[in-house]
Amino acid sequence: MLRLRADHIAFYYDRYLIEADGHVQVQASNGMTISGDAFSMDLRLNRFLVASHVHLRSPGGNLDGAAIADFLDFDRIYFVPVITKPDRWTYENRDFLHPLKGRQMPGDVFYFPDVSGTGVSLSARTAIVEARQFVRFSGVHAYFFHQGVPLPSYYVYFGAGQNLAQNSLSGANVDATWNATGNANSISAPHLRYDAFNHLYLAFEQHLGGNGQHEYAVFSINPLSKDDKYWNLVTGERVGSKFEVSTFTQLYTFQNFFAEPSASAQTTYVTLTQALNRSYLQAYFNFTNYNMIGPKTPASPNHPNTLSLSANSYNNQIFKTPLYFQTTFGFGYNHDAYGLQDYGGVLYTTIYNQSVGFTISLPNVKIGDRNRPYDLYYFNATENSQRTWNTVPHHINSQNTTASLSRQFSRFVNSYLAYTVSNTSDLYLQGGYAPSAPLLPDGTPYTPFESFRGAATLRTAALGTTYSASPNLVTTITFVHHQDFPAAFPGLFSPPPTNAIGQYTYTNYLGQPPWQLTGEVRTRILPHLVLDVQRTYFFHFGNQLWSPTFVVQLSG
């Protein structure tokens, strides 16, 4: 671990560089201390450099020098001492008592990177660096569009462990995250967020995991500053190389800050996964309590719980053909003492279900001259079918067929053409399904709907093009045509609700406008901040011209 102090410390987020100058002091956990005028550290290369008026204090004594460079991964230090006869010394394995004198050094040992065209992400007075793990700054000014925001501290994780990246917050249009503190195994992060439902609010998230590759936990309160609060806990544990447990628990409370809540509900999901040779087994459990306060509140008393078991094969190749095949078999148990479904005059408190399904795919078939990558077309096709039976006289069939053709026209432009057919039938075996004709907005009945018996077909053709001049700017245009049964008619079907950032909560639904044109622009506006803007045009389908709002999202 390194402790750095200087008159001015600058961090460049896009390059993971720390640059410092003025009364630089570096203290290492092995007892070595270095002072000088200038400091540079590349966090990805895991090396640092101190130059000008260098003073080294180590078990080998107190020495003055012109520059010193420490390559932490190799336990090798290069030092230019200020002595009567100029020389270069190399220390190996932190052995300061026996410097290797006169050795040839790499040409870039004392190279300071050019940061003249790079904006400073934050400045600080002190920093603690854990090699290959994190850096924690104190006395910080974080810069947004050249405006400094004072913060007491800021934490940056750059380790190889992926568990600290786990998230338990819902989506938001804007999320300004302050990683206030942390270490190799945790991050504490307040959030300032905005979405169309809650507007401006505070949230908090605590991450645990870090170096541990087998377990993690993420806890959050969102929104923290509103009466409607969602307390989320996400955990994961991998036992050995083939067994994994993951959970998600959400507690809802309606309360002013942390006063006694007037309403509360809870739901928990637990998933167990066991990998086998060419398949895996999965068990899934869900329990929900819609009313944790008591009968004085008008909330639903229901307490449904679900248990499902499934056996799933991997996507296995069929002999030596280009086809791949995957199967799934499942069994489910659903129970609620207050009743799950009232059908045919019978209140079902327990419903069992069984399911079977398969997927067959033809991936990445290359068409064209393989020696000319920009002339190649890629063909993909997938067929997925599933059937579910319930102890209620009711079964559900679903079938999805997709075929696509894509091509990379140049380094910056790629396009695809896709056609999808989705068939879903939700059928009751007793009594049938014979709906009356719904009324259109003008009051006339829509008689074609009388032929609907619970089986719907959604046909979708999509043409998309992406232009990406650089990783910092990506533009996408997508044209979509829907031809569905029952056919869409303005005002006949209600569109699905939108989520917190203005997107429809699901994409396949009856009544989609037949013609849609969607544009999306994704650009990096700061080294650690990305702006994504999206909107859809519906070609005047009834009174629908554009999608409800622009989908605007800022993410770090």
Q: Indicate the residue among 100, 134, 152 that finishes a domain.
A: 152
> Is the same domain home to 57 and 143?
yes
Euclidean distance between the first and the last CA atom of the chain, given in angstroms as a whole number: 27
> Is the same domain home to 21 and 145?
yes
In whole angstroms, give the CA distance from residue 166 to residue 216.
8
> Is the same domain home to 115 and 164?
no
User: pTM of the predicted model, to two decimals?
Assistant: 0.84
Half-sphere exposure in the Cβ direction for 452 (13 Å, CA)? 20
Q: For residue 77, count other CB atoms closer than 10 A to its CB.
A: 23
Quick one: pLDDT at residue 492? Answer: 77
Whether 429 is covered by a domain: the verdict is no
257: left (phi over 0), alpha (psi -120 to 50) or beta: left
228-258: pLDDT as tens digits: 999 999 999 999 889 999 999 999 999 888 8
> Is the same domain home to 247 and 171?
yes
**Is residue 448 within 8 Å of 486, Cβ to Cβ?**
yes
Taking the C-alpha atoms of 339, 340, 342 and 347 in order, what is their torsion angle to the nearest 10 degrees?
-40
Half-sphere exposure in the Cβ direction for 39 (13 Å, CA)? 31
In whole angstroms, give the CA distance from residue 415 to residue 402.
16
Q: Diameter of the chain by CA atoms?
A: 103
> Is the same domain home to 172 and 208?
yes
* Residue showing tokens 């290797």: 100
The distance from CA 218 to its chain's CA centroid, rounded to whole angstroms, is 13
Q: Indicate the residue among 281, 303, 325 that finishes a domain.
A: 303
How does DSSP assign 270-314, residue by residue? Answer: EEEEEE-SSEEEEEEEEEEES-SS-TTS-S-----EEEEEEEEE-
Tokens representing 341? 């479904």
> Is the same domain home to 82 and 201?
no
Quick one: pLDDT at residue 46? Answer: 93
Whether 422 is covered by a domain: the verdict is no
**Is residue 537 within 8 Å of 545, Cβ to Cβ?**
yes
> Is the same domain home to 147 and 180?
no
Domain count, the chain: 2
Whether 373 is covered by a domain: the verdict is no
Tokens representing 536? 């859809």
How does DSSP assign 308-354, residue by residue? Answer: EEEEEE--EE-TTSS-EEEEEEEEEEEE-TT-SEEETTEEESEEEEE
Whether 86 is covered by a domain: the verdict is yes
Quick one: pLDDT at residue 489? Answer: 82
Domain interval for residue 170: 160-303
Residue 175: closest CA among 154, 187, 197, 193? 193
Residue type, 220: S
Whether 425 is covered by a domain: the verdict is no
> Is the same domain home to 96 and 122?
yes
Quick one: pLDDT at residue 48? Answer: 94
Quick one: pLDDT at residue 308? Answer: 97
357-416: pLDDT as tens digits: 999 999 999 999 888 989 999 999 999 999 999 999 888 999 999 999 999 999 999 999
Residues of the chain with pLDDT under 50: 432, 434
According to DSSP, the β-strands at 305-313 and 279-289 are antiparallel
CATH of the domain at 70: 2.60.450
> Is the same domain home to 194 and 224?
yes
Q: Phi and psi (nearest 5°) for 63?
A: -130, 145
Q: Which string of b and e fits 168-178 if b means at least 16 CB within 10 Å?
A: bbbebbbbbbb
**Is residue 72 within 8 Å of 47, Cβ to Cβ?**
yes
Whether 279 is covered by a domain: the verdict is yes
277: left (phi over 0), alpha (psi -120 to 50) or beta: alpha
- Residues shown for the chain: 556
> Is the same domain home to 175 and 281?
yes
- Can you say whether the dihedral through the CA atoms of 460, 363, 330, 290 is positive or negative? negative
Measured between alpha carbons, how far is residue 461 from residues 135, 226, 284, 490 in Å? 49, 42, 35, 20
> Is the same domain home to 225 and 243?
yes
In whole angstroms, give the CA distance from residue 550 to residue 33.
54
> Is the same domain home to 58 and 139?
yes
Q: Indicate the residue among 272, 303, 334 that finishes a domain.
A: 303
